[in-house]
Structure 1
Amino acid sequence: MVFLPPFSDTIVKEYIDSNTQSQIAGFDLSIKELIELQDGGIVDFDNTKRNIPEHKTIPPVDGKWEIKPGGYLVKYNEVVEVPLNAIGMVLPRSSLMRCGATVCSAVWDPGYKGRGVGLFLAYANITLHQNARIAQIVFFETKAKTTKGYSGKYQNENIKK
């Protein structure tokens, strides 16, 4: 079952305009930062060899990014707190795909809280304005409420303490 809007401020926070971002089946996520990977990463079975590549934030010029084809990371403006009885899935907005770009994301586990990061793939030149709505998070209810939420490396990511 899908959680339908309106979402409470306990699920999505630090949004720009809930009237614009709240959609029929989800909530639009907007771009806060565009990030360029500097080298390769390492992924293994038990994370003992895991290495997340160095990266640098690309500052916008005159309020926008002129993006060349390639892979980037995007940090979203919104802070999301996934309920213990749900998972979150992030999908690209159709306008983004029609411009030759997309976002990819992992499952957002029950109990995850943070300002998420997604993979941004541009297949053609594209201009993104600051705070552009590029993705939509949709919440799916799980059959059972977990008693222990996500507690991995990315819990509370990109939230100032």
Structure 2
Amino acid sequence: MADLSEYVTDAVHEQTQTDSPGFDLTVAEVYEVVDPGRIDFGGGELEPAGTAPHASAKRDPEDDYDWWTLRAGQYLVEFNESLTGEATVTVQPRTELLERGATHPTLHVDELPRIPLSVGGAGLRLKANARVSTIVDAEKR
């Protein structure tokens, strides 16, 4: 397998993010879709959805990082990391995310967009910089 770290920039802590197969991606921000976007056949009326950052807070005043409390529903997640653009990578949800009733689509991308996060059941508490996704494969361009 290729060294996936050669395709990733802005890692939070590369040693931890590569301690298992793949390269883990971390949450920088969570957004809510607050206004509908538009998609048409030809693209002439294409408009982005309106988004707003989802509120976060420290669990304890002495904490270094905020937490998001997510109810069941749809969100957009932005990663801390970026891609170099030298490869198309496959990104999938981490098992830890799936086992807590949340998921996102598996994507084949050459840049990291905000991705839809589906949260089910009782919701999810998500800490800033949590590892939620993994790059599992890369195809050099």
The alignment's TM-score, normalised by the length of structure 2, stands at 0.83
2:47 is aligned with 1:46: no
Contact kept in structure 2, 1:5 and 1:24, CA below 8 Å: no
Higher strand share: 2
Greater relative contact order structure (CA < 8 Å, 6+ sep): 2
User: Offset of 1:106 from its aligned partner?
Assistant: 4.1
Indicate the residue corresponding to 2:131 in structure 1.
Answer: 133
Contact kept in structure 2, 1:105 and 1:119, CA below 8 Å: no
User: Offset of 1:20 from its aligned partner?
Assistant: 0.7
Q: Secondary structure at the match of 2:56?
A: coil
Q: Structure 2: which amino acid aligns with 1:74?
A: V
Quote the Cα distance in structure 2 between the aligned partners of 1:5 and 1:23: 12
Superposition RMSD on alpha carbons, in Å? 1.9
Q: Structure 2: which amino acid aligns with 1:94?
A: T
Quote the Cα distance in structure 1 between the aligned partners of 2:41 and 2:88: 23
The alignment's TM-score, normalised by the length of structure 1, stands at 0.74
Indicate the residue corresponding to 2:114 in structure 1.
Answer: 117
Paired residue for 1:56, among 44, 52, 56?
Answer: 52
Identity of aligned residues (%): 27
User: Offset of 1:59 from its aligned partner?
Assistant: 3.2
Give ranges in structure 1 of 5+ residues lacking alignment: 146-161
Contact kept in structure 2, 1:72 and 1:119, CA below 8 Å: yes
Q: Cα 1:87–1:22, aligned 2, differ >3 Å: closer, same or farther?
A: same
Indicate the residue corresponding to 1:149 in structure 2.
Answer: none
User: Offset of 1:104 from its aligned partner?
Assistant: 2.2
2:67 is aligned with 1:70: no
User: Offset of 1:6 from its aligned partner?
Assistant: 5.3
User: Offset of 1:39 from its aligned partner?
Assistant: 2.1
Give ranges in structure 2 of 5+ residues lacking alignment: 59-65
Quote the Cα distance in structure 1 between the aligned partners of 2:44 and 2:4: 41
User: Offset of 1:140 from its aligned partner?
Assistant: 3.2
Quote the Cα distance in structure 1 between the aligned partners of 2:12 and 2:56: 18
